[in-house]
């Protein structure tokens, strides 16, 4: 690893993750933890036959998800991408609109926009949060946007800019207060991509419900999981009811008649997945505490390592540290870092390719992306499973 002490880094990874020295046990990047009532609740679904999109666990899980995100309503769906798709539709995104989204994000953020037959419009991120930079966005809109009849349009393309989608990267909060100021200035609704940020807070406020509508994910690699799943999040009850209707094939309730009053989607979360989610949510505080303790251990371990720095939560925030990350000083050291760590049994990975570098999004509108390019070329995620941090939680409790 160029300019990095690979043996020292491997030794620290062994120490923090608790892998016995000399073993070849693989430490994955992230894996789910099932240590509560998962078997009990799922077995109940199997015993009763309520395994599909109707059942008591769906309603209970939606109540618990809304509570976990501090919103009035959560509508659970088959995955986070589906939830984001419906959230965008609820915000009024329509065909041929543009939607502001960071170039540094998982592809689902851009894909959900495309499912609306809209066009992603990429904006730069900032190093402090790894998320969309509100100041860069404001400057960019000053350059390319204009008001027409109380809506914002891209002067260069003539298309309406219908929404802004901030994504809280690895659980670290975007500067939402400033972003909401920019959105209000331009009269653009905010659709919050909280796929990675359950339990994260900014100025004491939970993420996911700070915009008009939000979306989260319960995929198998997330902080808690339903196997596959997601949820739309909102404080607007009418919007939530409309979202639920559209996500349930837009079928009007009736004892036997099949009448669908508009185009809908078969996106509702099955009861068996919701049962798993209910058990997972019962442990979410413990899981986040373990992940935060793991992050503190990494921060301490890497503080004196030349050539890299551990990514810490932004100011005025409390991150769930969904994925831990280091940023290397030298981009040329990234691939050797990945090769050595993976060869030695640690599941590390690079950041996502920028969206504008993918073939289907190369021609989309974009601001200058110098910070996003820098982060993408230098960031590496390191093992982040909750069970790796449990020993630190127990040690802290013992000392207290």
Element at 161 (helix H, strand E)? strand 161-164
Would you give per-residue pLDDT tens digits along the chain (400 residues)?
A: 447 899 999 999 999 998 865 567 899 999 999 999 999 999 999 999 888 877 899 999 999 999 999 999 999 999 999 999 999 999 999 999 999 999 999 999 999 999 999 999 999 999 999 999 999 999 999 999 999 989 999 999 999 999 999 999 999 999 999 999 999 999 999 999 999 999 999 999 999 999 999 999 999 999 999 999 999 999 999 999 999 999 999 999 888 899 999 999 999 999 999 999 999 999 999 999 999 999 999 999 999 999 999 999 999 999 999 999 999 999 999 999 999 999 999 999 999 999 999 999 999 999 999 999 999 999 999 999 999 998 887 665 555 5
224 near 282, Cβ under 8 Å?
A: no
The domain over range 6-31+284-399 is classified in CATH as 3.40.50.620: no
Confidence (pLDDT) at 22? 57
Residues 6 or more apart in contact with residue 164 via CB below 8 angstroms: 99, 100, 101, 132, 137, 179, 182, 183, 188, 189, 190, 191
Quick count: other Cβ atoms within 10 Å of Cβ 55? Answer: 21
The boundaries of every CATH 3.40.640.10 domain in the chain are: 38-281
224 near 202, Cβ under 8 Å?
A: no
The boundaries of every CATH 3.90.1150.10 domain in the chain are: 6-31+284-399
320 near 206, Cβ under 8 Å?
A: no
CA distances from residue 105 to 65, 155, 177 in whole angstroms, order as listed: 23, 25, 20
CB neighbour burial string for 299-316, b if at least 16 within 10 angstroms, e if fewer: bebbeeeebbbbbbbbee
Confidence (pLDDT) at 2? 45
Alpha carbon distance, N-terminus to C-terminus of the chain? 40
Residue with tokens 């992230």: 30
**80-90 and 107-115 are packed helices; what angle lies between their axes, rounded to 10 degrees?**
50
Residue with tokens 């599941």: 347
CATH class of residue range 38-281: alpha beta
What is the value of pTM for the model shown?
0.95
């Amino acid at each position: 690893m160029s300019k990095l002490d690979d043996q020292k880094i491997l030794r620290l990874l062994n120490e923090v993750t608790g892998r016995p020295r000399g073993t070849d046990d693989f430490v994955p990047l992230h894996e789910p933890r099932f240590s509560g009532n998962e078997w009990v609740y799922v077995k109940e679904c199997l015993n009763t036959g309520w395994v599909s999109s109707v059942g008591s666990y769906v309603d209970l899980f939606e109540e618990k998800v809304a509570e976990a995100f501090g919103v009035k309503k959560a509508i659970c769906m088959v995955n986070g991408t589906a939830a984001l798709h419906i959230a965008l539709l609820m915000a009024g995104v329509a065909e041929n609109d543009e939607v502001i989204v960071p170039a540094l994000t998982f592809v689902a953020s851009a894909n959900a926009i495309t499912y609306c037959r809209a066009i992603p419009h990429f904006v730069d991120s900032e190093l402090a949060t790894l998320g969309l930079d509100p100041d860069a966005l404001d400057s960019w809109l000053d350059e390319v946007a204009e008001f027409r009849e109380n809506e914002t349009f891209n002067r260069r393309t003539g298309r309406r800019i219908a929404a802004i989608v901030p994504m809280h990267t690895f659980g670290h909060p975007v500067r939402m207060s400033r972003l909401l100021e920019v959105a209000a200035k331009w009269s653009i609704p905010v659709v919050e991509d909280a796929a990675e940020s359950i339990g994260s807070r900014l100025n004491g406020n939970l993420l996911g419900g700070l915009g008009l509508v939000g979306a989260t994910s319960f995929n198998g690699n997330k902080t808690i999981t339903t196997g596959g799943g997601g949820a739309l999040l909102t404080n607007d009850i009418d919007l939530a009811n409309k979202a639920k209707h559209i996500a349930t094939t837009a079928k009007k309730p009736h004892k036997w008649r099949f009448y669908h009053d508009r185009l809908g989607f078969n996106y509702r979360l099955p009861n068996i997945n919701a049962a798993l989610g209910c058990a997972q949510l019962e442990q979410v505080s413990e899981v986040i505490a373990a992940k935060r303790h793991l992050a503190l251990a990494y921060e301490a371990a890497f503080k004196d390592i030349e050539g890299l720095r551990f990514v810490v939560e932004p100011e005025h925030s409390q991150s769930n540290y969904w994925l831990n990350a280091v940023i290397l000083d030298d981009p040329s050291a990234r691939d050797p870092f990945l090769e050595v760590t993976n060869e030695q049994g640690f599941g590390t990975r690079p950041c996502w390719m920028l969206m504008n570098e993918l073939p289907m999004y190369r021609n989309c509108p974009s601001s200058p992306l110098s910070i996003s390019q820098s982060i993408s070329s230098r960031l590496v995620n390191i093992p982040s499973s909750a069970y790796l941090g449990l020993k630190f939680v127990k040690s802290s409790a013992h000392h207290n």
